[in-house]
Amino acid sequence: MENLAALDQKHFIHPTSSIQEQQVSGPKAIFSRGEGIYLFDRDGNKYIDAMSSLWNVNIGHGRGEIAAVAKEQMEKLAYSSAFATFSHEPAIRLAAKLASLAPGDLNAVFFTSGGSESNDTAIKLIRHYWKLQGKAKKKKIITLKRAYHGVAAASTSATGIPEFWEMAGHLTTGNIHVANPYMSTATQAITNLQETIETEGAENIAAFMIEPVQGSGGVLIPPDDYLRDVRRVCKDNDILFVADEVITGFGRTGKMFGVQNWGIQPDVMTFAKGVTSGYLPLGGVMVSDKIHEIFKEKSTGTLFHGFTYSGHPTATAIALKNIEIIEREHLIQHAQKMGELLLKGLQTIRGKLAIVGDVRGIGLLAALELVADKAANKRFDPEKRLRLR
Ligand code: PMP
SS3 276: coil
Is the Cβ atom of 216 under 6 angstroms away from ligand 1?
yes
Shortest-distance Cα residue to atom 12 of ligand 1:
115
Radius of gyration, CA atoms only, the chain: 21
Both 13 and 81 in one domain: the answer is no
Is the residue at 60 inside a domain?
no
Residue 134 Ramachandran class (φ > 0 left, ψ -120 to 50 alpha, else beta):
left
**114 and 15 in one domain?**
no
Helices (H) and strands (E) in the chain, counts: 13, 13
**pLDDT reported for residue 157:** 97
Q: Beta strand pairing status for 356-362 and 283-288?
A: unpaired
pLDDT in tens, 263-283: 999 999 999 999 999 999 999
Distance 357 CA to ligand 1 centre (A): 26
Domains: count for the chain: 3
321/338 same-domain check: no
Residues 25 and 151 placed together within one structural domain of the fold: no
Domain presence at residue 249:
yes
Whether residue 224 lies inside any domain: the answer is yes
d(Cα 53, Cα 36) in Å, to the nearest integer? 12
The CATH number given to whatever domain includes residue 132 is 3.40.640.10
Residue 59 is assigned to a structural domain of this protein: no
Do 301 and 337 fall into the same domain? no
Residues 197, 297 share a domain:
yes
- Same-domain check for residues 35 and 158: no
Q: What is the pLDDT of residue 383?
A: 81
Same domain, 348 and 208: no
Q: Please tell me the distance between residue 56's alpha carbon and the centre of ligand 1 in angstroms.
A: 10
Nearby residues of 233 by Cβ (< 8 Å), 6 or more positions away: 190, 193, 194, 197, 208, 239
* 0.95 surpassed by complex ipTM: yes
274, 242 contact by CB (below 8 A): no
Cβ of residue 114 lying under 6 Å from some atom of ligand 1? yes
**One domain, residues 235 and 351:** no
Strand partners, 286: 109, 269
Measured CA distances, 232 to 194, 238, 343 (Å): 11, 10, 31
69 & 39 share domain: no
Residue 322 shares a structural domain with residue 343: no
> HSE of 290 in the Cβ direction (CA atoms, 13 Å)?
9
Domain membership of residue 36 as a residue range: 1-49
> Pairing between strand 175-178 and 205-210?
unpaired
What's the pLDDT score for residue 287?
99
φ, ψ dihedrals at 227, nearest 5°: -65, -35
Note whether 279 and 146 are same-domain residues: yes
Residue with CA closest to ligand 1 atom 14 = 115
Q: What share of the chain is helix, strand, coil (3-state, %, to 5)?
A: 45, 20, 40
* Structure-derived torsion over alpha carbons of residues 67, 339, 224, 221, reported in degrees to the nearest 10: -70
Residues of the chain with pLDDT under 50: 389
What whole-number distance in Å separates Cα of residue 87 and Cα of residue 92? 7
- What is the whole-number distance in angstroms between the Cα of residue 151 and the centre of ligand 1? 8
> Separation of 354 CA from ligand 1 center, angstroms?
32
Instruction: In whole angstroms, give the CA distance from residue 347 to residue 350.
Output: 5
Question: Could you tell me if residue 58 is inside a domain?
Answer: no
In a domain, 54, yes or no: no
